[in-house]
Structure 1
Amino acid sequence: MDAKASGGSIRAWLIVAMLFLFMVINFADKAVFGLAAVPMMRDLNLSPREFGLVGSSFFLLFSLSGIGFGFVANRVQSKWLLALLAVVWSAVQFPLVTASVTLPMLIASRVLLGFGEGPAFPLAQHACYKWFDNAHRNVPNTIVQQGASAGLMLAGPILSYLVVRYDWHMAFFALGIVGLVWTALWLVIGRDGPVGAASHATGAAHGGAGETIAYRHLLLNRTFMGVLFIYFVEYAVISLAFTWFPVYLRLGLGYAPIVTGWLFSSIVGSFIPVTLLLAWVSQRLIRKGVSSRIARGAMVSGFAMLGGVLFLATSTGLSPALKVACLAIGGALSQLIFSFGPLMISDIVSVRQRGALLGINSSIGTLAGLIAPALMGGIVQANHGNPALGYEHGFIVVGVLLLASGALGLALLNPEQSRQRILEASRCDAAQSSDNEGSRQRTVSASMDMGPSR
């Protein structure tokens, strides 16, 4: 296998760097809402419930656009789709720069931002896979995924400084400019890789799966369903992270604004080394011949359960510092599905259908973002006499769901078996179709042999 196919070219790693920055901006756009929450709630006179609803409005079109762009990605080059999305993100920031922002304007901006960001992560992964084969995807894919954590980490101190030094409007303006700069660079550097083109006829990493398979077989197999359920739960965690974690640090634990920015940065910064290390371990196991069920599925499931335990621990009598540590480590361990889940999906689907399936998984899974922030807002408002207690009740719900999703993942995630069953089901469909066509032709032939009736 040549260097390009295995991901050894300089161009491949330059694309990874650009996709990493793409995700940095993507999640900084998400984080600004939580980091500017307190002055925004004050200026616009928002209650916790209203703030939670605005946070959830971001996901109103998020899933629909993700599915739509996923199917488009089967036919259109990733370069142009990613550029289009980045332009949309940038454009919707600028209306929030003025002092005349209203609640409807804020909601409209978040809805349109969600439309532009819904397809971003699966399309970035799809673009990354075009430069790396299955045995070499774990680490570059995780680097791209960690752009999300880096975006949240960098957003903490930088955007908090802009909010405190100037005002929250300036933070949105800065993100709009950064998005336009990335787009200009991407139009010069971006390119689709050779792996997708070379594999289009032969299918996913294991070959022999290049034919188009009915989506009912792909969507209803055990591995896809397991990935989808864990993805849903763990996206609830990430949506709470960029919406409510800064507010919890500020109002629940009593930290000052600048300290809150640095603590938030530290929490999401811990995601990066943990997930990169586990991705490296998983890739080593895959290259040594360990099954994807163990090297990817079992790791995702086990660490999701451990993350759930740590979220439950925030409701105990720990000190504020230890509660921050639980959020940091628990959050890091519950992010593996965003790296390993798409890899398991790519194990079971051909490259010609991969973009659509990644888009469907991401779009349905991220519906958690439509629910979780609003639900947390309701829980907090119900405990208005003790804000910290309200947040921690929400973290209990998260912990229980992580435990349940991890246990379900251990039972369901088996890419090797799923791939085999999908191929068998596809062959049965083909045989049934052939039998039906043969029967139809025999009927027509018999009718012709009988001649016209007298």
Structure 2
Amino acid sequence: MLESENVRFASERTVTASIAGNRRWIIVTSLFLFMLINFADKAVLGLVAVPLMHDMQLSHSQFGLVGSAFFLLFSLSGIGVGLVADRIDVKWLLAGLAFTWAVGQLPLAWPTSFAVLLGCRILLGAGEGPASPLALHVVYSWFDNRERNLPTTLVQQGGTAGVILASPLLTYITGRWQWHAAFLTLGIAGLLWTVLWLCVGKSGNAHGDASSVSVPQQHGVTGQQTSIGWLTLLTDRTVIGVLLQCFVGYVVISIGMTWVPAYYRLGLGFQANQTGWLFALQVTAQIPVGIALAVLSHRLLKRGTQSRIARGALISVTCVVSGIAYCMLYLSAPPLAKVGLMALASSLAIQVFTFGPLLVAEIAPTSRRGALLAITNSIVTTAGLIAPVSMGKLLGMVGEIRGYEIGFAVTGALLIATGAAGFVLLDPQRSRQRLRAAH
């Protein structure tokens, strides 16, 4: 009798584990779509720029103001929402963010004023500021530390897929039904995702706390250690290393979205239709590169390699190689070779947004993980306010043809410097020891 009961209980546990395993990949898929819509929302303004400016009779300075308005509340909302992320069910926070995106897009589905356009972009930026860190916070609640590389990469690649998909799809919709239809499409997509998430969304209970990689759980920074101050966390060596690398990574993103297509056309001499395809291929290259690095890191961790090497040193090497590729753009080379260098450089640099959150999550107490991810993300995204404007001023001083490549070389030098710093700073095990001592 006792034996049959044990068999029954074992069978029930197996079924429960199987259901949980399926559920967490449904969550990952949903968050992939979440990030896809997020980046499509970011890209739409540039894709409809010409007809929008024509119809609304906007000057270039007014359109530039609209573009910058997106970042007005981006970082502030990221910090604000992050601070309450560990007190409110993240299911409702993510649903609220997606609904905010829809509210920010739908008014533009009809003829509107410049003030409404400006307000909608500010609202959209406020809704998108906390998106990435909160999505990763949910992922980390479903996967232990050793298992996080692949799901993190898949969710982050949703942003890449959003850019790749948005370019041809929204361009076609704009040409077929005017630019208002592009905003209507994204507004509906935001509403549909909100409904989907309310049906399937849920946080998990896999803590994978700070010590889960290389030291026993009872000696780590546990989820109960809420007394560790924010200053202690933000001045930790690993967090500082992540901030440096991700700040330069966001320089790459913001310059890429603003200036790289123009560089292909004006600097390298490609035609407009060729530029669109080349940029799409460049972004596509990020997917296999990201998956390959995630798999390599995962295998190193499974073999018992410390995270300092499997994550910290790996992403630091990646930054250095990316920086060298950017610097090589300054040298004389055929246009297609420079496109290849650009694809390699940007694909490697963008991986800081996979490894950076993983490293932060390793050392953060579970009770403060969501907030710390949001705060660090908000700090690094301030690069979006600085980099495009700086590149524009450089082009004004030097000229378009050579100015682009000087700007890319400066970006490369920053990547090399932050990559070198990462070898010294990114050490989660030492960080955990410091945080235990501080506690």
Give the alignment's TM-score, normalised by structure 2: 0.88
Q: What is residue 69 of structure 2 aligned with on the other side?
A: 57
Q: What is residue 368 of structure 2 aligned with on the other side?
A: 353
Query: Does the CA contact (< 8 Å) of 1:310 and 1:327 recur in 2?
Result: yes
Q: Distance in 2 between matches of 1:334 and 1:405?
A: 11
User: What is the correspondence of 1:224-303 to structure 2 with a 5 Å cutoff?
Assistant: 224-303=239-318
**Amino acid across the alignment from 2:382:** L
Q: What is residue 190 of structure 1 aligned with on the other side?
A: 201
Pairwise CA distance, 1:189 = 1.2
Note closer, same or farther for the CA distance 1:248–1:174 as it changes in structure 2 (3 Å cut).
farther
Q: What is residue 153 of structure 1 aligned with on the other side?
A: 164
Q: Distance in 2 between matches of 1:272 and 1:373?
A: 24
Pairwise CA distance, 1:61 = 0.8
Q: What is residue 15 of structure 1 aligned with on the other side?
A: 27
Q: What is residue 68 of structure 1 aligned with on the other side?
A: 80
Q: What is residue 190 of structure 2 aligned with on the other side?
A: 179
User: What is the correspondence of 1:19-30 to structure 2 with a 5 Å cutoff?
Assistant: 19-30=31-42
Q: Distance in 2 between matches of 1:236 and 1:63?
A: 15
User: What is the correspondence of 1:19-418 to structure 2 with a 5 Å cutoff?
Assistant: 19-40=31-52, 44-47=57-60, 51-102=63-114, 104-196=115-207, 205=212, 206-207=217-218, 208-210=220-222, 211-212=225-226, 213-382=228-397, 386-418=399-431
Name which of structure 1's ranges 81-90 and 6-15 shifts more when overlaid on structure 2: 6-15
Q: Distance in 2 between matches of 1:204 and 1:151?
A: 34
Pairwise CA distance, 1:393 = 3.1
SS at match of 1:194: coil
Q: Distance in 2 between matches of 1:277 and 1:80?
A: 33
Name which of structure 1's ranges 151-160 and 339-348 shifts more when overlaid on structure 2: 151-160
Note closer, same or farther for the CA distance 1:333–1:58 as it changes in structure 2 (3 Å cut).
same
**Amino acid across the alignment from 1:139:** L
Q: Distance in 1 between matches of 2:289 and 2:70?
A: 28
**Amino acid across the alignment from 1:71:** L
Pairwise CA distance, 1:317 = 2.7
Question: Once the two structures are superposed, what CA deviation does each residue of 1:346-369 show, in whole Å capped at 9, x if it has no partner?
Answer: 111111111111111101011111
Which structure 2 segments of 5+ residues have no match?
1-12
Query: Does the CA contact (< 8 Å) of 2:102 and 2:188 recur in 1?
Result: yes
Q: Distance in 1 between matches of 2:325 and 2:62?
A: 29
Q: Distance in 2 between matches of 1:311 and 1:120?
A: 29
Query: Does the CA contact (< 8 Å) of 2:210 and 2:362 recur in 1?
Result: no
Q: Distance in 1 between matches of 2:373 and 2:245?
A: 14
Pairwise CA distance, 1:291 = 0.9
Question: Once the two structures are superposed, what CA deviation does each residue of 1:300-339 show, in whole Å capped at 9, x if it has no partner?
Answer: 1111111112222233333332222222111110012111
Q: What is residue 436 of structure 1 aligned with on the other side?
A: none
Pairwise CA distance, 1:344 = 0.8
Q: Give the percent of matched residue pairs that are identical in Structure 1 and Structure 2.
A: 50
Which has the larger Rg?
A: 1
1:425 aligns with 2:428: no
Note closer, same or farther for the CA distance 1:279–1:398 as it changes in structure 2 (3 Å cut).
same
Pairwise CA distance, 1:182 = 1.1
RMSD: 2.5
**Amino acid across the alignment from 2:303:** K
Question: Once the two structures are superposed, what CA deviation does each residue of 1:233-271 show, in whole Å capped at 9, x if it has no partner?
Answer: 101111222333334334444544443332222111110
Query: Does the CA contact (< 8 Å) of 1:270 and 1:332 recur in 2?
Result: yes
**Amino acid across the alignment from 1:421:** R
Query: Does the CA contact (< 8 Å) of 1:133 and 1:195 recur in 2?
Result: yes
SS at match of 1:193: coil
Tell me the number of residue pairs that the alignment of Structure 1 and Structure 2 aligns.
Answer: 418
Give the alignment's TM-score, normalised by structure 1: 0.85
**Amino acid across the alignment from 2:406:** H
Q: Distance in 2 between matches of 1:92 and 1:247?
A: 28
Q: Distance in 1 between matches of 2:377 and 2:231?
A: 17
Note closer, same or farther for the CA distance 1:252–1:176 as it changes in structure 2 (3 Å cut).
farther
Query: Does the CA contact (< 8 Å) of 1:119 and 1:359 recur in 2?
Result: yes
